[in-house]
Chains A and B, each alone.
Chain A
Amino acid sequence: MDALPTLLAHTNMTWYLLPLAAVISLVYSASRYEQTERILRRAGKLFAQIILFMGAILALLAMLSYRL
């Protein structure tokens, strides 16, 4: 159990976005449709949109803070 906090301390917090975005995409899509295949397809699309959007914001912030 001691290894977990050490592991967490060395994990970049940005990676937590992936499971969070996956969960949000799945639950949101499940609340929109009933059909399993449609839920999964739409969740995949939403997940990609979230990651792309956040990636764009990250790139913008990185660009604005370049050489600061």
Chain B
Amino acid sequence: MSDPRIPLKEPKLAALLAFLLPGAGHLYQGRYFKAGLYAVCIWGLFLYGMSLADWKIVNAPPLHGNASRRGVMLKYAAQFGVGAPALVALMQSERYYKESNRPVRQLDAPLDAPFTGELTLRTRQTAGDVTGTVYLEPAQGGFGAEVIRGRFAGTDADGEPVEVQLGEFVELGRPISADSKRYLQAEVIDDAGGRIQSLGHLHGSIPRPFWNWFVVPLDDKQDRELHRQLGKYHELATVFTMIAGLLNVLAIWDALEGPAYGYGDEPESTDETPDTEAEQADADKDSSDKQPVAEAVS
């Protein structure tokens, strides 16, 4: 039974809030010091771990099938304690492993996006960095197949304007993936006179919207790349986020049942040796003060 001086209000609601947002449950209960302490410590540890790993360290396992990725289960189980971000990761896992999330060769609607990459033209025999905008739209290819066509307009590394037509073999990376850049490769064509002629190749990337890469599961290649980039900091980020999740379990329990050992003004237990003689004297005084009350109750 919790100390009556501790305002638990609706403990189950507080525990749910504490799970969803560390510190929120205690804020709801009016336990402001603890709310601040849990929020700063748990969020701080978790977000620092996330930032160390480029915000890619929380990977939820697939809910259905794909047993090869279930190795992330234990890591995720510890991170799950931190609530909202882990739930978002689970939602992202569900979206990522859908059949429809695959590299795109057809479009439902026109798309234009900023592009950075490399343009290779046969006429120049060289590749050059280009930046600009790609404009893509669905089109009918040979034999009635649906393809993507469009154009790229921008500038090359020297600042010279470049505009080329894209078509037939345009491929976009999958819509949802753990990378803020979505790859794009396309054949550069010339269809003057009604005859399509290949002039070269454009490849690079367009930005992926935040919600299409944030806490999305990594594929094997991305996972290896992250390990290569971070080295030992990958493990450190994993440990920080896992410990943050596990610590929040203590905070959730505190919101539900109150502190484990009591309010804190009880005399220190005998297994905790007081640091100083003054503390010992205080403890003795406290216990002697409480003695008559205990006797009166009995």
Contact = CB atoms under 8 A, between A and B. Distances in A.
Interface stretch (B67-75, B143-151, B253-261): B253-261
Contacts of A34: 3, 5-6, 31, 34, 258-259, 262-264
Contacts of A19: 45
B265 A35 contact: yes
B96 interface: no
A13 B37 contact: no
B272 to A, nearest CB: 9
A31 to B, nearest CB: 4
Secondary structure of the B contact surface, majority rule: helix
Nearest to A22: B41
Max chain A Cβ within 10 angstroms of own Cβ: one of B45, B253, B264: B264
Contacts of A36: 33
Given A20-B243, A23-B45, A35-B265, A30 B34 contact: yes
Interface in A3-43: 8, 13, 16, 19-20, 23-24, 26-28, 30-39
A52 to B, nearest CB: 14
A41 B39 CA distance: 20
B236 A27 contact: no
Contacts of A31: 250-251, 253-254, 259-260
A30 B44 CA distance: 16
A28 B263 contact: no
A38 B283 CA distance: 13
A34 B260 CA distance: 9
Chain B contact-residue range equals 20 to 34
Size bin of chain A's contact surface: 20 to 34
Nearest to B260: A32
B60 interface: no
B264 A33 contact: yes
A23 to B, nearest CB: 4
A13 B235 CA distance: 11
Interface string A35-64: 111110000010000000000000000000
B38 interface: yes
B80 interface: no
A33 B33 contact: no
A26 B41 contact: yes
B232 A13 contact: yes
Contacts of A32: 259-261
B41 A33 contact: no
Interface centre among A8, A20, A37 (most CB of B within 10 A): A20
A33 B42 contact: no
Given A33-B264, A34-B3, A23 B254 contact: no
Contacts of B33: 36, 39
